[in-house]
């Protein structure tokens, strides 16, 4: 027991030393634009925090005042549109950069030793950024915000239906706590406002402490890139700051109703699955993400040398894009599709498993052949098969 704890502590200390969250100095591939993502994450985060604080000067967090106050910010306050645009598109950019970086780390095998802790922190950051996103959208108190919040906060109530555990009321307690009462209303808006602000501020303090103690760089990109990003965000806000849509109306759900782009795939999954599964599936997905560095234990980083995990990642990417497309084009047939999707998933995963086994057998054969061959005196030992 003691030994296990000591090992854990040692592991944690070592990985903490090698954290590579923002400056991306642990990978010597500065010429590749995929390796400025760390800096861009920090940059967009700061844009979002600063613009968010400016928005707070004018935003009114009440069910009756929120919508009007954002209209006021957008159309009356000088450069209000720019601040709102920077916040909105800055948030989108933050989530885009984290997502791209997660996919990069996945396919380049960067979550392997010593990158496990970096990967886990980034993965949690994606979840927290998405929570910031929904709570942010809810602040607009328009139709989309209202119904997204309502749907998301009803999901936990199904946790009370998990078989064998019995109804402990825990799911309802979760929903109640976030709703600030049994139904969506002022209590919810107030709590979402607090969460939306709180996540970033608390994490920013933690990050600053870390920078202070490690002397790592916050923004390891050139001034040119920074100016480019700011100009781009301002330009997009100028030409295309989306309308607020309609004021939240608790008597009418619009048809069609869409979520933010990063929730679209999940939204499609919720249409396909019974609600309890749809509530458990994201938890499993997060669990897989957090544990994958410990599941995929070979040293190989090339995708073709770890076929199974490569295919799982590819499948996730394809489903993410495919489901988002399905829901945007509104072409899915809810009563017909699920068996096909299950079928494809099972077949592909099974094929990936076969590929992995075949690959490992070939590796083992090659190793055996090399060992059997008359070895020259100074020949390097053959690589052991992936285990």
Residue 136: contacted member of ligand HEM, other proteins, none (CB under 5 to 8 Å, by partner type): ligand HEM
Task: CB nearer to other proteins: give 168 or 205.
Answer: 168
- What is the distance between the terminal CA atoms of the chain, rounded to a whole angstrom? 26
CB of 271 to other proteins, least distance (A): 4
Contacts 24+ apart (CB under 8 A), 262-267: 262/95, 262/99, 262/130, 262/133, 263/130, 263/133, 263/134, 263/148, 264/323, 264/324, 264/327, 264/328, 265/319, 265/320, 265/321, 265/322, 265/323, 265/324, 265/327, 267/327
Q: Rounded CA gap, 203 and 12, in Å?
A: 19
Task: CB nearer to other proteins: give 40 or 266.
Answer: 266
- 334 binds other proteins, rule: CB under 8 A: yes
Task: CB nearer to other proteins: give 119 or 158.
Answer: 158
**Candidate residues 15, 87, 101, 112; the one interacting with ligand HEM per rule CB under 6 A:** 87
- 13 binds other proteins, rule: CB under 8 A: no
**Candidate residues 19, 34, 46, 49; the one interacting with ligand HEM per rule CB under 6 A:** 49
- 80 binds ligand HEM, rule: CB under 6 A: no
CB of 268 to other proteins, least distance (A): 9
Q: Rounded CA gap, 104 and 10, in Å?
A: 27
Residue 270: contacted member of other proteins, ligand HEM, none (CB under 5 to 8 Å, by partner type): other proteins
Q: Look at the block and give the residue holding tokens 């861009």.
A: 40
The stretch among 29-37, 96-104, 121-129, 148-156 that binds other proteins (CB under 8 A) is 148-156
Planar angle of CA 232, 238, 239, nearest 5 degrees: 95
Alpha helices (runs of H) in the chain, residue ranges in sequence order: 2-17, 37-58, 66-75, 80-107, 116-139, 143-154, 170-179, 186-214, 223-239, 264-272, 275-295, 307-329, 337-372
Q: Rounded CA gap, 100 and 96, in Å?
A: 6
- Rounded to the nearest 10 degrees, the angle between the axes of helix 80-107 and helix 66-75 is 100
**Candidate residues 155, 229, 265, 292; the one interacting with other proteins per rule CB under 8 A:** 155
Residue 65: contacted member of other proteins, ligand HEM, none (CB under 5 to 8 Å, by partner type): none
Task: CB nearer to other proteins: give 101 or 144.
Answer: 144
With CB under 8 A as the rule, give the number of residues binding other proteins. 51
Q: How far is CA 64 from CA 138, 247, 346, in A?
A: 13, 10, 49
**Candidate residues 36, 55, 97, 292; the one interacting with ligand HEM per rule CB under 6 A:** 55
- 248 binds ligand HEM, rule: CB under 6 A: no
The stretch among 85-93, 149-157, 211-219, 310-318 that binds ligand HEM (CB under 6 A) is 85-93
Q: Rounded CA gap, 206 and 346, in Å?
A: 42
Q: Work out the number of other CB atoms within 10 angstroms of the CB of residue 236.
A: 16
Residues that bind ligand HEM (CB under 6 A): 48-49, 52-53, 55-56, 59, 70, 84, 87-88, 91, 94, 129, 132-133, 136-137, 139-140, 196-197, 200
Residues that bind other proteins (CB under 8 A): 1, 147, 150-151, 153-155, 157-158, 160-161, 167-170, 172-173, 175-177, 179-187, 190, 250-257, 270-276, 278, 332-336
């Amino acid at each position: 027991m003691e030994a296990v704890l000591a090992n854990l502590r040692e592991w944690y200390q070592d990985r903490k030393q090698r954290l590579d969250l923002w400056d991306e100095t642990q990978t010597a591939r500065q010429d590749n634009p995929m390796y400025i993502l760390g800096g861009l994450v920090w940059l967009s985060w700061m844009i979002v925090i600063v613009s968010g604080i400016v928005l707070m000067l004018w935003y009114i967090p009440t069910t009756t005042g929120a919508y009007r106050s954002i209209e006021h910010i957008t159309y009356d306050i000088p450069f209000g549109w720019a601040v709102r645009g920077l916040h909105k598109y800055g948030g989108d950019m933050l989530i885009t950069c984290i997502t791209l970086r997660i996919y990069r780390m996945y396919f380049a095998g960067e979550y392997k030793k010593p990158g496990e802790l970096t990967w886990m922190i980034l993965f949690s950051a994606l979840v927290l950024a998405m929570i910031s996103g929904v709570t942010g959208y809810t602040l607009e108190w328009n139709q989309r915000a209202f119904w997204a919040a309502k749907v998301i906060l009803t999901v936990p109530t199904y946790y009370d239906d998990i078989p064998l555990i019995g109804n402990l009321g825990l799911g309802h307690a979760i929903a109640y706590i976030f709703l600030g009462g049994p139904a969506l209303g002022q209590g919810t808006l107030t709590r979402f406002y607090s969460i939306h602000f709180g996540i970033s501020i608390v994490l920013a303090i933690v990050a600053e402490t870390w920078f202070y103690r490690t002397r790592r760089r916050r923004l390891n990109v050139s001034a040119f890139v920074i100016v480019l990003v700011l100009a781009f965000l301002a330009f997009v806000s100028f030409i295309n700051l989306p309308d607020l849509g309609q004021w939240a109306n608790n008597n009418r759900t619009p048809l069609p109703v869409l979520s933010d782009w990063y929730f679209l795939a999940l939204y499609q999954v919720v249409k396909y699955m019974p609600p309890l599964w749809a509530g458990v599936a994201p938890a499993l997905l997060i669990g897989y993400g957090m544990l994958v560095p410990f599941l995929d234990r070979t040293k190989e980083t090339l995708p073709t040398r770890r076929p199974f995990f490569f295919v799982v990642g590819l499948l996730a990417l394809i489903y993410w894009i495919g489901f988002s497309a399905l829901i945007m084009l509104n072409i899915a047939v809810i009563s017909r599709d699920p068996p096909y999707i299950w079928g494809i998933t099972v077949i592909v995963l099974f094929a990936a498993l076969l590929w992995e086994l075949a690959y490992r057998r070939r590796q083992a054969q090659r190793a055996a052949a090399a060992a059997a061959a008359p070895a020259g005196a100074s020949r390097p030992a053959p690589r052991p098969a992936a285990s």
